[in-house]
């Protein structure tokens, strides 16, 4: 079973929290760390953050559920955020979204059966000059075409197979 976060990292975070005057400010930081390691933030993650920062679980939960880039449910290994805002829309964003759904055989919000990809619509990624765009994990990809999407997905599948 995959562990939530290595002991060392938890200890490092505990030390950081002790040195921070307003510990609660670290709540997003800590959840981002757990997510980077575990892929998403399960209930145990919320509890760990709460306990480490000396706040209640609802204090953490109400923050976790506010942000769309904190995943409180399992997502694929590569969460794909598809920009559906205006600049991408002007340059074929809808076709990119449709193509990704067809290529992966899932709808927006869904995860592929092999657990590799999740499709999530998102607002503007701040890459309006390079529309249409998506973000895979934390990596931005712009000036997309259907062919470029095929290549990207192919490349990621090969990476996993390796």
- For residue 15, the SS3 value is helix
What count of other Cβ atoms lies within 10 Å of the Cβ of residue 123?
A: 11
Number of residues that bind other proteins (CB under 8 A): 40
CA distance 123 to 52: 32
Q: Identify whether the C-beta of residue 69 lies closer than 8 Å to the C-beta of residue 38.
A: no
Nearest distance from C-beta of residue 36 to other proteins, angstroms: 11
Site for other proteins in 106-135 (CB under 8 A): 122-131, 135
For position 53 contacting other proteins by CB under 8 A, the verdict is yes
What string marks each residue from 1 to 40 as x (binds other proteins by CB under 8 A) or -?
---------------------x-xxxxxx-xx--------
Closest CA to 5 of 39, 46, 34: 34
Chain centroid to Cα 79, Å, comes to: 6
Q: Return residues touching other proteins (CB under 8 A).
A: 22, 24-29, 31-32, 53, 55, 59, 62-63, 66-70, 84-87, 89-91, 122-131, 135, 138-140
């Amino acid at each position: 079973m995959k562990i939530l976060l290595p002991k060392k990292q938890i200890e490092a975070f505990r030390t950081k929290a002790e040195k921070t005057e307003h510990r609660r400010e670290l709540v997003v930081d800590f959840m981002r760390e757990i997510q980077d390691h575990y892929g998403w933030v399960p209930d145990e993650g919320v509890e760990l953050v709460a306990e480490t920062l000396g706040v209640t679980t609802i204090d953490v939960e109400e923050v976790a559920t506010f942000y769309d880039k904190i995943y409180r449910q399992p997502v694929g290994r590569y969460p794909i955020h598809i920009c559906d805002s205006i600049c991408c829309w002007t340059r074929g964003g809808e076709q990119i979204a449709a193509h990704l759904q067809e290529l992966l055989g899932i709808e927006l919000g869904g995860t592929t059966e092999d657990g590799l990809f999740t499709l999530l619509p998102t607002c503007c990624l701040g890459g309006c000059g390079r529309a249409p765009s998506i973000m895979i994990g934390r990596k931005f990809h712009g000036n997309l075409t259907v062919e470029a999407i095929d290549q990207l997905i192919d490349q990621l599948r090969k990476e996993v197979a390796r």
